[in-house]
């Protein structure tokens, strides 16, 4: 048993090394190895991303949604840590955010008091944790100069909707009340996340506006905004580009209750009423992502309601690029741009 565990760990280290190596090959070499460029909807998939997807197919590594939940969670964590690599950071501190686990990332040379980003991880409300998103939180903190507080929350099926949403709101209220203890400036608080975590962040921003809580900015990276996931990019990119329609269906079945209305504005903020004084938003989408169109539709909804919003599509990327900063140049470049926007907005 010990030998098998050691062999598995060694294999995972080898896979991570291969990902890092091929992700940093010269672009012409990547293109030759990846095969004919993938063009869809007027976009060309990044060569490093296409090559990594090809290697995943060759390895026949099973997708999380095809596995039992606990095994799928281990798979998501393994994929995320391999793709994220080791990212430098000034300091990391574990802490309790009310009743929830949290991890505070302090970039080198951080000032006190200073801005702080409250971050919620993605994973379909079923997968993910503080460890799966350790690398991107380190990267965001170090490249933006902000404190980043990553907050864990309850997942389905153990805890069904709206457990995760209630946790996110409670966590943000706790941060506002304890900003000074975190070294944060209440006037420069931001909230953000990726995928399901961006859905939580969008909901926190709506709650903050309704309750009059201070919030300066919302950072939404390929957010879930419409739980129906119908048509458009969901049809174009629902197979072969990491996030699949099967994953999204499983997420709905596992987190939502049979009685949940898919138009409930908490799970589908595209149907939310936009309150006055909603924080400005930056919405990042990926060209080859099933969630692309719903994220962009939410950005337009915010803009139509008078909310200052910047929408940026990274046309050569797939869902999950936030986690791939250690295995490819194109995803890392996208994340640098996102970190720069965050820095400019709240520092």
Distances (CA, A) of 71 to 48, 61, 155, 218, 243: 28, 13, 15, 32, 17
27-40 residue pLDDT tens: 888 999 989 999 99
State residue 182's pLDDT score.
97
Nearest Cα residue to 76 out of 32, 128, 113: 128
pLDDT computed for residue 60 by the predictor: 78
Q: According to the model, what pLDDT value does residue 17 have? A: 72
User: What are the residue ranges of helices labelled H in 212-256?
Assistant: 233-236, 245-255
Query: Percent of the chain, pLDDT > 90?
Result: 87
Q: Which of 289, 293, 327, 331 is catalytic?
A: 289
Find the catalytic residue in 319, 327, 330, 331: 319
pLDDT band at 7 (very low <50, low <70, confident <90, very high): very low
pLDDT given at position 1: 45
Task: Please report the DSSP string for 73-112 in residue order.
Answer: HHHHHHHHHHHH-----SEEEEEEETTEEEEEEE-TT--S
pLDDT 10s digits, 71-128: 999 999 999 999 999 999 999 999 999 999 999 999 998 989 999 999 999 999 999 9
Q: pLDDT tens-digit profile of 268-289?
A: 999 999 999 999 999 999 999 9
Which pairs with CB-CB distance under 8 Å and at least 24 residues apart come from 87-96? Answer: 87/134, 87/135, 87/136, 87/138, 87/139, 87/142, 87/325, 87/326, 88/138, 88/142, 89/138, 89/141, 89/142, 90/141, 90/142, 92/138
Distances (CA, A) of 52 to 35, 76, 136, 180: 12, 16, 18, 43
- Is 319 in the active site? yes
Determine the Cα–Cα distance for residues 119 and 173; give it in Å rounded to an integer: 14
pLDDT of residue 5: 47
* ∠ Cα 271 161 262 (to 5°): 35
Buried b (16+ CB within 10 A) or exposed e, 239-251: eebbbbeebbebb
Edge-to-edge order in the sheet of strand 114-120: 91-97, 100-106, 147-151, 114-120, 184-194, 217-221, 281-288, 309-318
* E strands present in the chain: 39-40, 43-44, 91-97, 100-106, 114-120, 147-151, 184-194, 217-221, 281-288, 309-318
Collapsed DSSP state (helix, strand, coil) of residue 241: coil
Strand bridging mode 309-318 / 184-194 = unpaired
**Where is pLDDT greater, at 347 or 126?**
126
Q: What domains lie within the chain, and their CATH numbers?
A: 2-66 (no CATH), 80-346 (3.40.50.1820)
User: Is 195 a catalytic site residue?
Assistant: yes
Please say if the pLDDT value at position 303 is more than 90.
yes
Q: How far is CA 235 from the centre of its chain?
A: 21
Which has the minimum average pLDDT: 56-65, 113-122, 152-161, 208-217? Answer: 56-65
What's residue 57's pLDDT? 86
Catalytically annotated residue among 132, 195, 268, 327 = 195
Q: What is the pLDDT of residues 150-159, one digit of tens each?
A: 999 999 999 9
Summary mean pLDDT of the chain: 94
């Amino acid at each position: 048993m010990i030998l098998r565990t050691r062999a598995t760990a060694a294999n995972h280290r080898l896979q991570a090394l291969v990902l890092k190596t091929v992700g940093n090959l010269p672009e012409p070499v990547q293109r030759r190895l990846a095969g004919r460029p993938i063009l869809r909807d007027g976009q060309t998939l990044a060569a490093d991303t296409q090559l990594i997807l090809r290697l995943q197919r060759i390895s026949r590594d099973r997708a999380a949604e095809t596995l039992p939940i606990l095994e799928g969670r281990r798979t998501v964590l393994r994929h995320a840590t391999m793709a994220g690599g080791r990212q430098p950071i000034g300091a990391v501190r574990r802490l309790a955010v009310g009743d929830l686990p949290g991890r505070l990332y302090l970039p080198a040379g951080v000032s006190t008091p200073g801005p702080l980003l409250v971050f919620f991880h993605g994973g379909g409300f079923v997968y993910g944790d503080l460890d799966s998103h350790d690398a991107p939180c380190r990267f965001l903190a170090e490249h933006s100069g902000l404190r980043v507080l990553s907050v864990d929350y309850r997942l389905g099926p153990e805890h069904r909707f709206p457990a995760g949403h209630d946790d996110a709101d409670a966590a943000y209220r706790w941060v506002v009340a304890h900003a000074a203890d975190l070294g944060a400036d209440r006037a420069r608080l931001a909230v953000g996340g990726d995928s399901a975590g961006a859905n939580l962040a969008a909901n926190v921003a709506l709650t903050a506006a309704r309750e009059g809580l201070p919030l300066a900015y919302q950072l939404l990276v390929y957010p879930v905004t419409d739980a129906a996931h119908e048509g458009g990019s969901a049809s174009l990119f629902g197979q072969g580009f990491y996030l699949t329609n099967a994953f999204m269906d499983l997420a709905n079945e596992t987190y939502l209750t049979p009685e949940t209305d898919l138009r409930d504005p908490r799970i589908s903020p595209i149907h939310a009423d936009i309150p006055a004084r909603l924080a400005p938003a930056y919405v990042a989408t990926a060209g080859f992502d099933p969630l692309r169109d719903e994220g962009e539709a939410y950005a337009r909804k915010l803009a139509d309601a008078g909310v200052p919003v910047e929408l940026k599509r990274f046309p050569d990327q797939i869902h999950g690029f936030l986690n791939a900063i250690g295995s490819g140049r194109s995803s890392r470049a996208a994340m640098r741009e996102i970190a720069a926007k965050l820095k400019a907005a709240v520092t």
